[in-house]
Amino acid sequence: MLIIRKATPKDAEAVASYLLLAMEDIVYKFIGEKQSEKAKEFMLYFAKKENNQYSYQNCWVALHEGEVVCAVNVYDGARLEGLREDVKAYIKEKFGKEFNPENESEAGEWYIDTLGVDERFQGRGIGSEVLRFLIDKYVHKEGQTLGLLVDDDNPKAKKLYLKLGFKSVGKKTLVGKNMEHLQIKI
């Protein structure tokens, strides 16, 4: 049985690992280097910290037999700029580059930034179950709009999102990648 709960500080290592699994190439673009150790360091630094885009505070985790096997990063899209401030400062300080990516979310939606499932558990429906949980919580119980971006090069993921009830609301670009913006609402 899968248990889904808010992440805690103790989950930071797993959160960082699964978020990175889902967005490694994007983190490389953020930091301007294709080095897995630096990307891991980046994600772990932010997963442990509070009040930033990738903080454990903005994550839910799924546990299988007591082990965290999935992490999903969700936050209020209206807070994106504030949550990104520490990320911008860190990249400038550690990597000497300006960080001003496109806004991937917006006010009026709770944004699913990243969802990653342990490679040993992929293909078992865990990601789908977590998405159904989020839809129930944010859309059905709280009456919110839930949004996400899907890479144009990932038709399998897009098919899943559409099957779950998400609808296309436009196109966006994130660090040079063409993405489709999907949302689900009541």
How many domains does the structure of the chain reveal? 1
Pairing of strands 177-184, 110-117: unpaired
Alpha-carbon gap, residue 114 to 162, rounded angstroms: 17
Alpha-carbon gap, residue 36 to 20, rounded angstroms: 9
CA 158 to chain centre: 15
SS3 93: helix
Q: State which residues form the domain around 126.
A: 2-184
CA 110 to chain centre: 11
Predicted confidence pLDDT, tens digits, the chain (186 residues): 899 999 999 999 999 999 999 998 889 999 999 999 999 999 999 999 999 999 999 999 999 999 999 999 999 999 999 999 999 999 999 999 888 888 999 899 999 999 999 999 999 999 999 999 999 999 999 999 999 999 988 899 999 999 999 999 999 988 888 899 999 998
Q: Which is nearest to 70 in space by CA: 124, 117, 23, 112? A: 117
- Residues contacting 55, CB < 8 A, separation 6+: 46, 47, 49, 83
- Model confidence pTM above 0.85: yes
Alpha-carbon gap, residue 71 to 83, rounded angstroms: 18
Please report, for the domain that includes residue 58, its CATH number: 3.40.630.30
